[in-house]
A and B are shown apart, each in its own frame.
Chain A
Amino acid sequence: MSYDVMVIGGGIAGMEASLTLADAGYQVLLVEKSPSIGGKMIELSKVFPTLDCAGCITTPKMAATANHPNITIMTYCEVQEIYKEGEGKFRVKILKKPRYVKVDDCIGCQRCEIACPIFVPKEYEYGLIGRKVAYIPFEMASPRKALIDLDNCVMCGRCERACPTDAIDFLQQPEVVEEEVKAVIIATGFKPFDACLKKEYGYGRYKNVIHALEMERLLAPSRPYNWVLRPSDGKVPDRIAYVLCVGSRDKSLDFPICSRVCCMYSTKQAILFTSALPLADVTIYYMDIRAFGKGFEEFYNMAEDMGIRFVKGKVAKITEKEDGNLVVRVENIDDGTIEEEEYDMVVLSIGLTPNSEVVKAFKNVEIELDPFGFIKPVSENTNPVLTNVKGVFVAGCAAGPKDIPDSVAEANAAAIQCIDYLYEVGAKVVVR
């Protein structure tokens, strides 16, 4: 089996690019590092400014990608080496990490999960709750297949005995497969900013300081506690503060660019509180509200009208009180006073940082990065999806922070440019 295109990354951009290429009749190999496709979007609660349920619009894409005859998905796999051996010829080596479960045999019944005695923090829920060592990553995972996290496993064998189809296989080994593709699309997305690096906000030290992706989970329809509770004592928070620009527009962290989404997702979360916790007071501390997209300014105005307090000022530091409450110190720029307010919970609106490790896999060509570490398009304005290497395209947040509609649009642009390239190198279209 040979493929026309390898898409690296199974988030919304990767899935969208794969679907467009596959619909055009090309054979796509979609490689995803984690055990399920879906990326960051499947973790979200709602999307701005339409307040559509993120899960409800991602799962159909995931299902379409998973069931498309022209798409082959390799989850839990990492691209290790890529060699460009001429135009339209890339030789790639992909590491298949062992799941310790035979994917073909697993029926997703979760009996292994029930039998497993060990709990560890659940990645999908950002550690808010636990998962078992034998587990399915999350309810809507695709493929809905179990895997065993061997690092935490005690080898008790209970999962093996519980499995009705004998799918558990502790003897699996890492395996490297070699494929040949004609073009590559990089859609590796972003890494959320590590909030621990902003020490004055106390993330990781103060229990009730959480980041916005954790709050996304607390607000999502599939949320862990079915309620918004603060971590230290399970109290329902009455007063919530948002700190914007954590890890973006900050030269002290060598990251001067705007992350483009935190103003709006914070506003969205604040609006969601009006239904999730109608009595809670929400304050958003911002440097500038960048409501630049279609309907964004109206969305922001709506939030203001709903009684969400917007305060202009960069939060300087957060201190924890004995009862777990947090004191936020900020200069309120509008009325020129230094404000010290107490909150039950503080949410850090973390920025989007580059996730470009994949460029190291290119062995005989070098993919250029921009000064911030994102993949650099040949021309930011006129050709945002072409990289400096012909035949390698970029889509979504891999090229810089952006929101979902922009990522989807860029994924389609990358797919179309890729088709152009495939035509040039003479790839055959499979007519269905």
Chain B
Amino acid sequence: MRLNVDFTAKLKKFGAETTYECFNCGNCTAICPLSTNEEQFPRKFIRYLQLGLESKIRSSVEPWLCYYCGECQQTCPRQANPGELMMSVRRYLTTVYDWTGLSKRLYTSTTWKFLSVGILFFATLFIVYLLHGPIVTDHTELETFAPAEIVHPAGYVFGTILAVILLGNVYRMHKFIMGDTKAPFSLYIQELGTLIKHFAIQARLRLCENKSLWLKHWLLMTGYTAAFILVQVDILTFWSLTNNPPPAWHPAKILWTYATVAMLYATTVAIIGRLKKEEPIHQYSHSTDWMFLILLWLTVFTGFLVRIFMQFDLPLPTYYAFAIHLAFTVPLLGLEVPFTKWSHLAYRPFALYFLNVKRRALEGE
């Protein structure tokens, strides 16, 4: 086993500031409702950090089993912030899984963050400027402004690229976690239920003492999923990118209203929480946490504005809002989903999936 003596310094950029505060009393591991004898954390990982056991951390699945409820943070006798240290390890692992190297730059460099968000934002605006259709000003015709036959295919291409990158990262994660363990293919099929269940309801987050965390997270998750599905099916339903918006009782619109309210509520609460720093989960904010929240909030809010302006039949504001909405959506999805914070939507359920597969494979041997 190799020790990386610079590991602690390296992890500081990911938010691990208090590694050496810890005196290994084990309070955090014992108070954690999720930590078990088989998968122990956080103390074990703080120990790894202190010792510079980089290879151990790279092949671990436990960081993804911590949901940062903050119990450990509140009672730590050294105020070493075990929860935040686990969060930093997750940030680090995200860069380990990412094969493009962009993730590492986004996490460790402010310049890269601003530059990549800025480039994607203005590039999107520029593309909208180049490709937009005729601007009708006597009443709102969004479909004429942004032709569906351009927007939808572009969206699918963009989405496919992101999915390929993310799944590539998941494949690398699989390699790190499974190590030398070989699991039969049938186990991967049998355990698919675990993957779907944890993707859909985040069952483990409900084991935390603070149940409101789960509720807020689930609102955000379902809101986003609903919005995602609605955008995907718009090519069939024509409820959004259309010149004749359907009435308010249209199922797609009702679902859309839920998605907007849920996401706006959850992100606003999270932003206020991080400013107030009252709850342990909100006390320490890495720059990427802010990047995610602000981009998401702006995306949802501009989407909401598009809908309002359309409702009141304000042509120019609708077109501008739509362009800006797109310009926030592209960096949000393009940078957050495969490379930074939002990638946990795949890593968390996949971690549990790989863990179960590995465990059963080892039992079978």
Contacts and interface: CB of A to CB of B under 8 A. Distances in A.
B26 interface: yes
Contacts of A329: 30-31
A313 B25 contact: yes
B144 interface: no
B30 A316 contact: yes
B77 A249 contact: yes
A245 B25 CA distance: 11
A252 B27 CA distance: 12
Given A287-B23, A331-B43, A200 B30 contact: no
A317 interface: yes
A338 B30 contact: yes
A317 B37 contact: no
Contact of A331 (B29, B74, B77, B79): B29
Contact of A316 (B27, B36, B44, B79): B27
Contact of B76 (A252, A287, A330): A252
A336 B30 CA distance: 11
Nearest to A253: B77
B30 A251 contact: no
B75 interface: yes
Indicate the member of B25, B43, B77, B78 with the most A CB atoms within 10 Å: B25
Interface string B57-87: 0000000000000000011111100000000
A315 to B, nearest CB: 7
A251 B76 contact: yes
Nearest to B79: A251
Contacts of A207: none
A83 to B, nearest CB: 41
A314 interface: yes
Interface string B17-48: 00000011111111100011100100110000
Interface string A210-252: 0000000000000000000000000000000000010001111
Given A329-B30, A331-B30, A338-B30, A314 B74 contact: no
Contacts of B25: 287, 313-314, 333
Nearest to A200: B75
B79 A314 contact: no
Q: Which secondary structure dominates chain B's binding surface?
A: loop
B300 to A, nearest CB: 36
A333 B75 contact: no
Contact of B30 (A252, A287, A330): A330
Interface string A245-281: 1000111100000000000000000000000000000
A382 interface: no
Contacts of A2: none
A337 interface: yes
A252 B75 contact: yes
Contact count band on A: 20 to 34
A249 B44 CA distance: 21
Interface string A329-360: 11111001111000000000000000000000
A213 to B, nearest CB: 21
Indicate the member of B23, B26, B43, B79 with the most A CB atoms within 10 Å: B26
Contacts of B23: 287
Nearest to A331: B26
A70 to B, nearest CB: 47
Contacts of A339: 30
Contacts of A315: 27, 30
A317 B30 CA distance: 8
Contacts of A331: 26-27, 29-30, 40, 43
A252 B37 contact: no
Contacts of A287: 23, 25, 77
B25 to A, nearest CB: 4
A336 B24 CA distance: 11
A337 B77 contact: no
A297 to B, nearest CB: 20
A317 B75 CA distance: 10
B288 to A, nearest CB: 27
A332 B29 CA distance: 10
B26 A313 contact: yes
Given A333-B24, A338-B40, A313 B79 contact: no
A328 B143 CA distance: 65
Nearest to B27: A314
Interface in A161-192: none
B40 A336 contact: yes
A313 B24 CA distance: 8
Nearest to B77: A250
Contacts of B75: 200, 252, 316
Contacts of A251: 76-79
Contact of A245 (B26, B40, B77): B77
A252 B28 CA distance: 12
Contacts of B74: 252
A316 B30 CA distance: 5
Contacts of B36: 338
A329 B35 CA distance: 12
B77 A338 contact: no
A333 B40 CA distance: 12
Given A336-B40, A338-B35, A338-B36, A252 B79 contact: yes
Contacts of B28: 316
Contact of A338 (B24, B29, B79): B29
Contacts of B24: 333
Interface string A270-314: 000000000000000001000000000000000000000000111
B30 A314 contact: yes
Nearest to B35: A338
A193 to B, nearest CB: 13
Nearest to B23: A287
B77 A333 contact: no
A212 to B, nearest CB: 18
Contacts of B35: 338
Contacts of A332: 26
B26 A333 contact: yes
B278 to A, nearest CB: 15
A211 B182 CA distance: 53
A121 B76 CA distance: 35
B76 A316 contact: no
Interface of B: 23-31, 35-37, 40, 43-44, 74-79
Given A251-B77, A314-B77, A336-B40, 13 more contacts: A249-B77, A252-B79, A313-B25, A314-B25, A316-B31, A329-B30, A330-B26, A331-B26, A331-B27, A333-B26, A337-B37, A338-B35, A339-B30
30 contacts: A200-B31, A200-B75, A249-B77, A250-B77, A251-B77, A252-B74, A252-B75, A252-B76, A252-B79, A287-B25, A287-B77, A312-B26, A314-B30, A316-B26, A316-B29, A316-B31, A317-B30, A329-B31, A331-B29, A331-B30, A331-B40, A331-B43, A333-B25, A333-B26, A336-B44, A337-B37, A338-B30, A338-B35, A338-B36, A338-B37
Please list the 7 inter-chain residue pairs (A to B) with the smallest Cβ-Cβ separation, ordered nearest first: A331-B26, A316-B30, A316-B31, A314-B25, A314-B27, A251-B79, A331-B29
